[in-house]
Structure 1
Amino acid sequence: MMMIIGGGVENRSIVKFSIEVFDYRFANVFNEAIKSLEFEIKSVEDVKKMQWETLEGEITTLIKVVKHCASVLFPGERKLCDSIFSENASIAVYLFSNLARAVVIQLLNFVDAVVQTNRSAEKLFKYLDMYEALRDVIPDINKSCSDELAAEISTSGDRIGEAAVHIFCDLENSIKGDAAKTPVAGGAVHPLTRYVMNYLKYACEYKVTLEQIFQKNKALVPSIKHERESPSHNQTGENSSSSPFATQLMTVIDLLDLNLETKSKLYKDPSLRFIFLMNNGRYIMQKIKAASEILQSMDDTWYRIRSSDVRQYHKNYQRETWGKVLQCLGHEGLQVNGKVHKPALKERFKNFSAMFDEIQKTQSTWVVSDEQLQSELRVSISAVVIPAYRSFFGRFRQYLDSGRQGEKYVKYQPEDIETMIEGLFDGNASSIGRKKN
């Protein structure tokens, strides 16, 4: 340590000795602190070679060390240093700043080494933990150390923030790259949907931090507008009040929507296609609604459009599946010269039973795991099918023969239809495993 120490030879010797003693003590205190916290200073190369599972634990310990240094070690040692060199304030400042910086640089080297490892989605949250730790200790560092040291910590934090932005934006590529060729059995919620929405839910627990780093790194956020089939979707992300992070959040969900639309085309049955889109759309909306941090980031128009999409999937399913069934229950063409034409009536009852049997057999294997959505579907089906069948049955059953001959055509009572509708969307696993869509 090169310093100019004034005074006589004896005084200079005392000061020099005091510096050496304090230097030695400071190193010991730091080493004891990291030992007690079970942290070991490692080289950049060693950090890069570590498996992520091991490195996660090291990062957790590093954060404890950083907080301990900023809130306990540095303030205590600064106070002692000022006391020892009370008559040489400039020496105290210079000495402590250099010793503290030597410690901090070791910790920041570890941080920088972590940032240099290969990026992957699961690393985001530990990166954010490190960013928050460095950001939050800066006020304490400013009090006990120099502004220059605080600036170095801030710069290291910025590098973490930049890496975190890249990781979050890489989620787009993960979604685009998920091109599964096999449809999910029964039209259930796709694993990609669960992964992305749970990832976003967890990420939004760091909402304030993510908004901060996205604001700082706006230039890194890809400016992409995704065209949707409906022109109304072009409004996504155009709200000038949306933060860069909120815009990116909506972009990710838009991409997920597009991916799911592509996956829906793997189903040959159009009705199952709409069940799949409805299941996944409802799951997305429920996750957004349940996570206040996500909901607060959403543009109102954007959210309403997606709610409308899910309702439209429901309508499309209803029309595709039950429209033809209801045609069997129409009265047109059943009378000839003012009298009921029995062969036509028999054909109508027969067609209705056959169609309903097929729907019940097929759609009881489909999956609607959201209880509210399952109930809404059954209620809406019952609301259109049961009154129509009850009316048709009540008016025309009397024209058919009683006994077994009549039962040949009239297979179900209205109450049977109600019971069978309640069995739809239960997702019988063994049936799903055998059925290909």
Structure 2
Amino acid sequence: MNNLDSSLQAHSKLEQETTNLSLLRDRVDKYHDLSTQMSTILTIFEKRLGNLEQTILPVYQETEQLQKRQQNLEVTLTCLESVLSHYDVSQKVCELIHQGPVEGNIGVFLEALAKLRSAKDYFLSNNSQSVELENVTGLFNTGCEGLNQHYSELLKKHSAPLKPVELLDLIYIEDDSSSDEYTSFRQLSQSTREELYTISHWLEQELREYTHIYAKERGDVVLRSLQLLKDHQKSSSWGHEAMKPRHSGRQVDPKKNASTRMQQFFEKKANKLVCQLEQSTGISIKKASSHSEYLTSEDLLDGDQELDKYLVMLLGLQRLLNWERAIMREIIPQSKHNEVFSNLACNAIDLVVKDAESITQRISRCISRKEWPSALGIFSALKRVILLQPDIERTYDAAQREQLTKVLNKLQHTGAKALDHFLDVVKGESNTNIVGQSNVPKDATVHELTSNTIWFIENLYVHFDVIGAILQQDVLYSTQLDTILMKKSLQGEERNKALLAIYIKKALAELNLSIMNKCEQYNDQATKHLFRLNNIHYILKSLQQSNLIDLVKLAETDCERSYEEMIRELKFSYQKTWSKMLAGIAALEELPRPSQGKVKDKDRSVLKERFSNFNKEFEEACKVQRGISIPDVILREGIKRDNAEHILPVYNRFYEMYATVQFSKNPDKYVKFRPHEINAMLSKLFDDSA
């Protein structure tokens, strides 16, 4: 039974599979027929498409040829129009070119020039023998000349020299002031600068020369501004003009003169440099609380007007050229900046350099005439010029900096000459002093050579930095500085102080030698000693009071002690001048001994001689020394005290022993002075009223 069921199931499945196979064969045949039909259709379509392409392709080719012909025709017409325009351009722009450019409408003129340039290029390339080439070339050159002329007239029209007062205000404004505040200087408006810029760049592209026009016109503005300032300086109003306020609320002191403004300007500049140095080094440096600390001495507060005028000119030049460089950047192509600026500044720099040469020549004459207050001005000028060096480095090119550096070198050379000449004067012959007098003072007071030398070196101290730089160039001073540096470490300004100390040491040594030589002109030994004592004491006290003694110690450690020892020796030598007078009355053991108020007849002549000799020599000494002046009160009273202590005890003993002795019929003839009278006469020595 089970087998029968399995057989039936298998037979059923076989029939089903047979049916499925038959169905699959039918479908395969059907798909094959469809593929055959599709292939046939595609073959027919391909043949028809090929036929269509063979029909359309000639049409396309003919259309392409027509398009090329049309393009060629258009290009030909364009070229023809261009060629015709080249032939017509000279007639079209001739009137415009001959009229020249119009301010504010430069574009139209440049467009006409561009057309002429294009025509010239065409004829040069295609028909160099054409008459039209000559026409357009001539017209183009005429246009360029007209453009140059317009360029020059435009600069002249909008450029005028600054008035002196305006330039002075420009000099003293702050470095960071806005340019808009000084429109009187920036006479070239924005539109004018733009027009000049356009012309400059067009001429630059055309390789046309224009830089000399700009340099000449703007250089004349700078030069004439400086010349007007120079003329103003010669007028009586120089130094008394008031500064115009930069803002309406600002009050300006009308009494402030040029020298004061100069001092304030350089004080600010010095403090600014100190601030910059502090920022770069991190070291705190004392700023100048007053102009005199860094720039000038109190005695020279008003300064040398000629030097002040020159410095104002130098400042004016620098300010003007700073503005010119700023304007030039807006007008001239960058590649021409150096060339234009060099030519622009040339004449103005020559003017200032010539002024500097005349200043140095004048100061040299002052030095040769020994006019030391004027000669000292060279160091103030040097200090100020050095303060301007950073500005000079920023403003000028290498050649101009070299030219202005010659001014600095000339000033330094003149300063060195002043220092050397002063030493020569101090060192001079024993009968020569600063003002040319040949005699030493009759009262043996402080010699003018001494007071002038001290005055000179005191005024050198405020310029120690400048003088140190000058002396550093001298191998003699630099060698001595090296010797000092082997013993102690000195940095920065201390080195300059040490160099000045070496110079002062040398000046004092020459002064001491000169004083020694001059004292020989006195016939009296006491006067010689007192003359030297007056001068040496004055030197020491002056050095101590001015604190120069500490400076000199950098070069000569024992300077103060040496002067004090010299003073003690001179006092001792002076006291010894009384010794001859006292020698006859001091040794009482060698004189006859009185007995009951009498001496032997043979001894009377000895006492007469001793009294007479003392009286004569004492009177002579008092007569001479009453005419001697000792200006210093302490020194004078000290010498009087020493005289009394030295003379009175000896005379008292002699007087007490022999005043009452009967050695003469006329004792008043010999015993002329009582001790108190001697003391009174000694107290009147060195008394000017006496």
TM-score of Structure 1 vs Structure 2, range by shorter chain: 0.7 to 0.9
Aligned length: 392
- Identify if the C-alpha distance between structure 1 residues 186 and 36 changes in structure 2 by more than 3 Å, giving closer, same or farther: closer
Quick one: distance in 1 between partners of 2:387 and 2:377?
Answer: 15
Gap regions ≥5 residues in structure 1: 40-55, 224-235, 430-437
Gaps of 5+ in 2: 1-198, 236-303, 432-437, 486-496
TM superposition score normalised by structure 1? 0.73
- Asked if 1:165 is matched to 2:416, the reply is yes
Q: Determine the C-alpha separation between the residues in 2 that align with 1:262 and 1:310.
A: 17
- 1:341-364 CA deviation, whole Å, 9 max, x = no partner? 644666655544343222222221
Quote the Cα distance in structure 2 between the aligned partners of 1:34 and 1:213: 30
Question: How far has the Cα of 1:424 moved from its partner?
Answer: 0.8
Alpha-carbon distance between aligned partners in 2 of 1:291 and 1:152, rounded to the nearest angstrom? 39
Q: Pairwise CA RMSD of aligned residues?
A: 4.1
CA shift, 1:297, in A, is: 3.4
* 2:232 partner amino acid: S
In the alignment, structure 1 residue 112 sits paired with structure 2 residue 357: yes
CA–CA distance in structure 2, aligned partners of residues 213 and 110 of structure 1: 22
> Aligned pair in 2 of structure 1 residues 105, 240: CA closer, same or farther (>3 Å)?
same
Q: 1:73 aligns with which of 320, 329, 351?
A: 320
The alignment's TM-score, normalised by the length of structure 2, stands at: 0.49
SS at match of 2:622: helix
Report the CA distance shift for 1:133/1:152 in structure 2 as closer, same or farther (over 3 A): farther
Name the CA shift for 1:90/1:10 in 2 (closer, same or farther; >3 Å).
closer
> What is the CA–CA distance in structure 2 between the aligned matches of 1:376 and 1:238, rounded to whole Å?
42
Query: In the alignment, what sits opposite 2:676?
Result: 415
- Whether the 8 Å contact between 1:128 and 1:209 is mirrored in structure 2 is yes
Q: 2:373 aligned with 1:373, yes or no?
A: no
Any residues of structure 2 matched to 1:250-269 within 5 Å, and which? 250-269=505-524
Classify 1:28/1:11 alpha carbon distance in 2 versus 1 (closer, same or farther; 3 Å).
farther
Q: CA deviation at 1:239?
A: 5.9
For the residues of structure 2 that align with 1:270 and 1:132, how far apart are their CA atoms? 47
Stretch moving more, 178-187 or 309-318: 178-187
| Higher RCO (Cα < 8 Å, 6 or more apart) | 1
Amino acid at match of 1:250: K
1:238 offset after TM fit, Å? 10
Is the partner of 2:535 in helix, strand or coil? helix
Aligned residue runs from structure 1 range 305-384, under 5 A: 305-322=562-579, 324-325=581-582, 328-334=585-591, 336=593, 342=599, 343=604, 348-384=610-646
Counterpart of 1:240, as a letter, is I
CA contact (8 A) 1:115 1:163 kept: yes
The answer to whether the 8 A contact 1:138-1:150 is kept is no
For 1:129-179, what per-residue CA distance to the aligned partner results, in whole angstroms no more than 9, with x for missing partners? 432332221112223334553443233212321232133213343344434
Q: 1:326 to 1:33 in 2, by over 3 A?
A: same
Separation in 2, partners of 1:392, 1:415: 14
Structure 2 CA distance for aligned equivalents of residues 325 and 126 of structure 1: 55
1:282 to 533, 537, 545: 537
Deviations 1:33-67 (A, max 9, x none): 3343349xxxxxxxxxxxxxxxx754442122113
Partner letter of residue 193 of structure 1?
T
Percent identity over paired residues: 18
Give the residue type in structure 2 aligned to 1:319: K
Distance in 2 (CA, whole Å) between partners of 1:179 and 1:377 is 27
The 1-side partners of 2:524 and 2:340 are apart by: 76
Contact 2:342/2:397 (<8 A) preserved: yes
Equivalent residue for 2:449? 192
Cα deviation for residue 301 of structure 1 reads 1.9
SS of residue matched to 2:568: helix
Shift of 1:312: 1.2
Please, which of 141, 150, 159 is the counterpart of residue 392 of structure 2? 141
What is the distance in 2 between the residues matched to 1:185 and 1:18?
71
* One-letter amino acid of the structure 1 residue matched with residue 406 of structure 2: T
2:670 aligned with 1:426, yes or no? Answer: no
Q: Which moves more between the two structures, 315-324 or 112-121? A: 112-121
Taking the aligned partners of 1:414 and 1:23, their CA distance within structure 2 comes to: 89
In the alignment, the residues of structure 1 paired with residue 549 and residue 464 of structure 2 have an alpha-carbon distance, to the nearest angstrom, of: 8
Aligned CA distance change for structure 1 residues 285 and 67 (closer, same or farther; 3 Å): farther
Deviation at 1:104, TM superposition (A): 2.4
CA positional deviation for 1:92 = 4.8
